[in-house]
């Protein structure tokens, strides 16, 4: 088996009934870009992926879906009990082979998980179902494979059952070990996700020195540059080269400057022209620099909480970048696509992004463009 395939990786996203999507299934490669006009469902696809990731990390359903009614497909009717909901899922490849996770969520009259299914090799490893609407639990059944073929127990209706299995399954039979391997593979892949949408208006001001991990909005860009400059000369040189390719004017450095009040600000070195605080750059240049930094770093620098039970070399970080080309010109988008292909080609990082126009990425080796129509 290829070394890259041994790392748990989400290879398919299914939106059976979610917002504008019905019966949709999207294969995901090392670099996948959803392309389409406004309203085509690009952001919805990334939101579903992020929701699965957060549930896999143990988040409660209400935290993940603050507006559950908005996730129900438009004009979806209610059943006889007045219930409406949505369905999402994914496939995760890894040492346990392809593992499918499918989730049914009731949005109305109250938010709860009403069905979950985990399958591998044609065998159902976990199912949950809402048996008693008056209880805040679902009835779960998972494969045992010993003297008792199936174990049944209640699970909370506001948590992903797959993420709870490692705490419930002893692993004393071959069947239980198969369940654990599949569940852990899914959880590892879903936890290794960094949702990123740089906010230029929050990146301009100096920031206090903190933990040095880049947040999803990239507002602490200066603080992270201060760290990366000293920790990895090679990666920082690549970042300077990216800045030179995507920013207007000469660039010979990108660093953080300590201020008298204890804060730091990011600056572009301009050679004989001096230095330019990045706060003076345009929105496109700021988003470009932030996304380049994300693609050139890793989970130790990004604010993501990967699974502790596996070494970083055994995990793949997936970057979710909504508005990947927002405010960027064709030159900047092309350079980011090049960086993504280079970084993702090493097998330790993947990119799922949303773009308004995928023309600049079509035909690029290693890039999959998914065209969506409103």
Q: What is the mean pLDDT of the chain?
A: 92
State the greatest distance between any 2 C-alpha atoms of the chain, in Å, as a whole number.
78
- Predicted confidence at residue 303, as pLDDT, reads 86
Residue 5: pLDDT over 60: no
Average pLDDT over residues 363-370: 94
Q: What is the pLDDT of residues 208-222, one digit of tens each?
A: 998 889 999 999 999
Rounded CA gap, 1 and 345, in Å?
Answer: 17
Question: Residue 94 has which token pair?
Answer: 């890894």
pLDDT at 272: 86
Scanning 111-232, the segments in alpha helix (DSSP H) are: 161-168, 174-191, 221-231
| Average pLDDT of the segment spanning 235-246 | 94
The pLDDT of residue 313 is 58
pLDDT in tens, 37-51: 999 999 999 999 999
Per-residue pLDDT, 75: 86
Task: Report the distance separating Cα 286 and Cα 200, nearest Å.
Answer: 6
CB-based contacts of 142-148 (< 8 A; 24+ apart in sequence) = 142/168, 142/169, 142/179, 143/175, 143/176, 143/178, 143/179, 144/173, 144/175, 144/176, 145/173, 145/174, 145/175, 145/176, 145/178, 146/172, 146/173, 146/175, 146/176
| Helices and strands (H and E) in the chain: how many | 8, 17
CA 153/CA 247 separation, integer angstroms: 57
Q: What is the pLDDT of residue 80?
A: 80
16-20, 96-100, 225-229, 339-343: least confident range: 225-229
Residue the block writes with tokens 């920013």: 247
pLDDT at residue 301 above 80?
yes
- Residue with tokens 């989730």, as numbered in its chain: 103
Residues 304-324 have pLDDT tens digits of: 876 655 555 567 899 999 999
58 vs 300 pLDDT, higher one:
58
Lowest model confidence (mean pLDDT) among 118-122, 199-203, 295-299: 295-299
- What is the C-alpha to C-alpha distance for residues 172 and 353, in angstroms, rounded to an integer? 41
Query: What predicted TM-score, i.e. pTM, was given to this entire model?
Result: 0.93
Q: Which two tokens stand for residue 364?
A: 């690029």
112-120/99-108 β-pairing: antiparallel
> What is the model's pLDDT at position 314?
67
pLDDT band at 2 (very low <50, low <70, confident <90, very high): very low
| Contact between residue 358 and residue 35 where contact means Cβ atoms under 8 Å apart | yes
For the chain, give the percent of residues with pLDDT over 70. Answer: 96
pLDDT at 128: 97
């Amino acid at each position: 088996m290829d070394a890259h395939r041994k790392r748990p990786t989400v290879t398919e996203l299914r939106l059976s009934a979610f917002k504008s999507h019905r019966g949709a299934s999207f294969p995901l490669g090392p670099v996948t870009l959803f392309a389409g006009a406004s309203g085509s469902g690009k952001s919805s696809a990334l939101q579903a992926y992020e929701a699965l990731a957060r549930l896999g990390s143990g988040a409660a359903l209400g935290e993940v879906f603050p507006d559950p009614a908005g996730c129900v497909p438009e004009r979806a009717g209610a059943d006889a009990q007045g219930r409406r909901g949505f369905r999402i899922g994914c496939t995760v490849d890894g040492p346990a082979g392809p593992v499918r996770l499918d989730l049914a969520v009731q949005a109305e009259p109250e938010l709860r998980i009403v069905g979950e299914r985990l399958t591998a090799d044609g065998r159902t490893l976990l199912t949950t179902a809402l048996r008693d609407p008056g209880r805040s639990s679902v009835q779960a059944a998972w494969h045992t494979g010993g003297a008792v073929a199936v174990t049944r127990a209640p699970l909370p209706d506001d948590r992903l059952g797959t993420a709870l299995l490692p705490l419930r399954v002893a692993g004393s039979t071959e069947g239980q070990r198969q369940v654990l391997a599949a569940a852990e593979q899914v959880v590892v892949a879903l936890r290794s996700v960094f949702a990123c949408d740089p906010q230029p208006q929050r990146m301009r001001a100096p920031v206090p020195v903190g933990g040095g991990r880049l947040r999803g909005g990239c507002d602490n860009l200066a603080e992270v540059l201060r760290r990366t400059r000293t920790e990895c000369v090679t990666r920082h040189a690549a970042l300077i080269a990216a800045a030179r390719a995507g920013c207007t004017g000469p660039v010979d450095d990108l660093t953080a400057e300590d201020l008298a009040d204890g804060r730091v600000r990011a600056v572009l070195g301009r050679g004989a022209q001096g230095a330019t605080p990045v706060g003076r750059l345009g929105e496109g240049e700021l988003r470009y620099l932030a996304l380049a930094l994300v693609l050139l770093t890793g989970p130790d620098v990004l604010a993501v909480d990967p699974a502790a039970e596996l070494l970083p070399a055994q995990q793949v970080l997936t970057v979710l970048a909504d508005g990947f080309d927002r405010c960027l010109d064709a030159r900047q988008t092309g350079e980011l696509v090049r960086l993504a292909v280079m970084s993702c080609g090493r097998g330790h990082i993947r990119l799922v992004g949303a773009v308004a126009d995928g023309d600049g990425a079509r035909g690029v080796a290693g890039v999959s463009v998914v065209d969506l129509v409103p």
